[in-house]
Amino acid sequence: MLVEVRDLKLSIGPVPILQGVRLGMDAGDIYGLLGPNGAGKSTTLSVLTGLRRAGSGAVNVLGLDPATQAQALRRRIGVLSEDSGFYGWMKARDYLRFMSSLYGLDLPAQQIEAQLERVGLPGASAHPVGAFSRGMKQRLGLARALLHKPELLILDEPTNGLDPRGRREIHDLLIDLSQHHGVGILLCTHLLDDVDRLCNRIGIIADGRSVVEGSLADLLATRTGAGRYRLRLRGDPPLPAALPEGVTLIASEGEWMHVALPANADPGQVWAALLAAGWDLVEIHNESGGLEDFYLDLTHKELTS
Amino acid sequence: MNSIRLIAAKETGELLGSGRGLGWLITLAVVLSAFSLLLVGSTELSLLDNAQAVYMVMGTITALGGLLAVVVGSDAIAGERERGTLVPLLLTPVSSTGIVLGKMGAQLAAWVAAYVVALPYLWAVGSSGQNLGAAVLYLALFGTPLVIGFGFYALGLSARLGNVRNAMLVALITLILAASPLVLGPSLRQSGIGKMFDAVNPFSAALNAFDSVVIDSDPFGMQIGRLGVVLAWLAVTALFARASARRLEGT
């Protein structure tokens, strides 16, 4: 496994911060680490990067123990922390050159330019970092994390401060890294839209404990009411006989149709089949509430229990 | 070793290449100009013999170097933490000891710059005397470990206290206490407590060595004990800074 954490516990002074966190991901996974403010997400990340020592439990990142092999580990991971700062007096290219040199790299100017372009900062290399907007700094932080071609990216709120187009560009970059380069991505975010779009695995932490951990599709499928959708159609509703196998028509209200998908169904494939069968779909709503309701239910239960 | 050099180069650029660094050097030049002018222009101070004037300039340069080291050292870790630049640095493969040594490399460069700026003033007040060469040599020999020791001390406080203001306050109080022999009268320094304080105070050791060499023309052999005190200060503060920086990770 790329990252394996079992029963991680950590106290700061007398205050228990982590009280049993588990996490597992493989190469190419995009893992979303979720939880309310103060749940212990950032502390978990600081243990994974060797900035804090675990009180107890097993932590293994890329086959290394972050507590005792931090320097070897840091050559293989890229990190964008939430409160990441920059030397504002440096130009973007000089900053990246300096940071890459700390990894023993001597990157030529073209490679630095290419890295900036990759994260959506073309033509910014000669600008002082102090003049960058928050979104530009996020992009520069991502460029910094990618400089040494890490096997694992640990990103704390990577799309903070980005406009919708910027978020989409970063999503596309992360998907490319995961799917075509086998980079594992551990994402800590409050933006469930990011998780919904990017992650194949999630872990939810509440009050320092893992509440749930596993494949996003499996977790959503186990939820009561999972697989129920409301579809708006253009034109006359088609015959129920045109429904793909396993898909059930629950109700019909004018142009809205309520359908249920089997637990193992891929919604994308079902919609494609419906379109092929003549269903002119205009809108699709997940009636089971999706990730947001799932997250709110779980964190609410944990905090009130 | 390479990463230490890289961090030192970056820090030196930030320290001396910025307006702040230039401001420091100009301030140093202005203070030394005013002090030198006072030594040669004031009716009373101009009566001091040449060696006495050189000794006073040496003490002033050392105190200003210590002040520079305290201010820069206090910001070295806590300032980076406050600006959010410490964590990205800690997340590189460079060890915390490497980061400390890199930062101290920049402090050494700042002290060398201050020393070079001070040389013409030393020459201006001491060129007519016989001990100018010894003054230049002993300022480097005793001033460098003393000033760098204060840099290590302030850096260690900066790492431990995590706050520039608190680290600078504690380091400045220590510097003022250590440099108090500069302003204490001879009778106070000859008292029992004064003698005890002088025996362990690296600043006193440096001042006494300057006095002994420049005013009394004593040989180097008589300064070995004093040099030992200054080097011990450097060693203890270096260990303190290293131990403090190691707390930054894996705590």
pLDDT at position B1 = 57
* Residues above pLDDT 70, as percent of chain A: 93
Q: What is the pLDDT of residue B51?
A: 85
Determine, yes or no, domain membership for B109.
yes
Shortest distance between the Cα of A182 and any Cα of chain B, in A, equals 22
In the prediction, which pLDDT does B92 show?
94
Number of domains chain A is built from: 2
Kindly indicate the confidence band of residue B19, based on its pLDDT and cuts at 50, 70 and 90.
confident
Give the pLDDT band (50/70/90) at residue A100. very high
- B124 in contact with A, Cβ within 8 Å: no
Distance CA(B89)–CA(B96), nearest Å, equals: 9
Rounded average pLDDT over A54-81: 94
Cβ of B7 and A102 within 8 Å? Answer: yes
Residue A146 lies in a domain: yes
pLDDT at A156: 92
Alpha helices in A147-206 (DSSP H): 164-181, 192-198
CB B109 within 8 A of CB B24: no
How many C-beta atoms surround the C-beta of residue B221 within 10 A? Answer: 7
Instruction: Inspect the interface and report whether the beta carbons of A85 and B84 lie closer than 8 Å.
Output: yes
DSSP string, B118-131: HHHHHHHHHTTSS-
pLDDT of the residue at A281:
87
| Overall average pLDDT of the A162-167 stretch | 88
CATH number of the domain within which A94 lies: 3.40.50.300
Does B187 lie at the interface with A, CB-CB under 8 angstroms? no
Q: Is the pLDDT of residue A2 over 60?
A: yes
How high is the pLDDT of residue B158? 96
Give the pLDDT mean for B174-189: 77
In what order do the strands lie in the sheet containing A77-80?
A: A77-80, A152-156, A184-188, A30-34, A201-206, A209-215
Reported as a pLDDT band with limits 50, 70 and 90, residue A280 is confident
**Tokens standing for B71?**
């201010």
Cβ-based contacts under 8 A for chains A and B: 67
First to last CA, chain A: 32
Interface membership of B19 toward A (CB under 8 Å)? no
The arithmetic mean of pLDDT across residues A156-173, rounded, is 88
pLDDT tens by residue, A20-51:
999 999 999 999 999 888 889 999 999 999 99
Q: Is it the case that residue B63 has pLDDT exceeding 70?
A: yes
Which residues constitute the domain of residue A254?
227-288
What's the mean pLDDT in B114-118?
Answer: 93
Whether B251 is covered by a domain: the verdict is no
- Whether residue B92 and residue A74 make contact (CB cut-off 8 A), yes or no, is yes
User: B193 versus B202: which is more confidently predicted?
Assistant: B202
Show the domain range for B59: 2-246
Assess whether pLDDT exceeds 60 at residue B11. yes
Flag whether A295 is in a domain: no
Q: How confident is the model at residue A216 (pLDDT cuts 50, 70, 90)?
A: confident
- For A:79-138, CB contacts with B below 8 A are 79, 81, 83-87, 89, 98-99, 101-104
Please indicate, yes or no, if residue B220 is contained in any of the structural domains. Answer: yes
Q: 3-state DSSP call for residue A31?
A: strand
Range 141-180 of A in CB contact (< 8 A) with B = 141, 144
Q: Which of A205, A127, A142, A211 is nearest to A177 (CA)?
A: A142
Q: Which of B2, B85, B249 sits opposite A87 (nearest CB)?
A: B85
- Pick the more confident residue, A8 or A282: A8
DSSP character string of A122-135: TT-TTSBGGG--HH
Predicted local distance difference test score (pLDDT) of residue A264: 75
Count of C-beta atoms within a 10 Å radius of residue B13: 18
| Co-location of A64 and A109 in the same domain | yes
- A84 neighbourhood in chain B, CB within 8 Å: 84, 87-88
Residue B91 has its nearest CB partner, among A67, A79, A85, at A79
The listed range with the strongest mean pLDDT (A228-242, A286-300, B23-37) is B23-37
Q: Which candidate in B7, B77, B92, B246 is best for mutational testing of the A interface (most A CBs within 10 A)?
A: B92
Answer yes or no: do A64 and A207 share one domain: yes
Which stretch of A187-196, B75-84, B161-170, B183-192 has the lowest confidence by average pLDDT? B183-192
> Which among B148, B114, B137, B159 has a CA at the least distance from the CA of B223?
B137
CB A261 within 8 A of CB A246: yes
Closest CB to B83: pick one of A74, A85, A98: A85
pLDDT of residue A86: 94
Q: Confirm whether B152 is domain-assigned.
A: yes
What pLDDT score does A258 carry? 83
* pTM: predicted TM-score of the whole model, two decimal places: 0.81
The rounded mean pLDDT for chain A is 88
Number of domains in chain B: 1
In a domain, B100, yes or no: yes
Mean pLDDT of A230-243: 75
Given A174, A199, A221, the domain boundary residue is A221
By C-alpha distance, the chain A residue nearest B89 is: A99
Alpha-carbon distance B99 to A76, whole Å? 20
Q: Tokens 């928050």 map to which residue?
A: A134
Provide mean pLDDT across the span A148-160. 93
Looking at A136-140, B16-20, B108-112, which range is the least confident one? B16-20
A53 touches chain B (CB under 8 A): yes
Question: Strand, coil or helix: what is A244?
Answer: coil
Q: What is the pLDDT of residue B21?
A: 78
Q: Is A74 on the interface with B (CB under 8 A)?
A: yes
Q: In terms of domains, do A107 and A241 share one?
A: no
Does residue A156 share a domain with residue A87? yes
B11 or A261, greater pLDDT? B11
The pLDDT of residue A286 is above 80: no
Residue A300 domain flag: no
Whether A58 is in a domain gets the answer yes
Q: B3: distance to nearest CA of chain A, Å?
A: 6
Is B97's Cβ below 8 Å from some Cβ in A? Answer: no
pLDDT at position B14:
86
pLDDT attached to residue B234:
97
The answer to whether position A232 is within a domain reads yes
Best probe of the B interface among A102, A107, A132, A155, by most B CBs < 10 A, is A102
Q: How is residue B147 written in tokens?
A: 């000033």
pLDDT band at B185 (very low <50, low <70, confident <90, very high): low
ipTM of the complex: 0.85
More confident residue, A145 or A84: A145
- CATH number, domain containing residue A267: 3.30.70
The residue that leads in pLDDT, B156 or B3, is B156
Q: Confirm whether A52 is domain-assigned.
A: yes
- My answer on whether A178 and A86 are in the same domain is yes
User: Given A221, A241, A262, which residue is the final one in a domain?
Assistant: A221
Q: What is the average pLDDT across B104-129?
A: 89
Check if B90 contacts A (Cβ < 8 Å).
yes
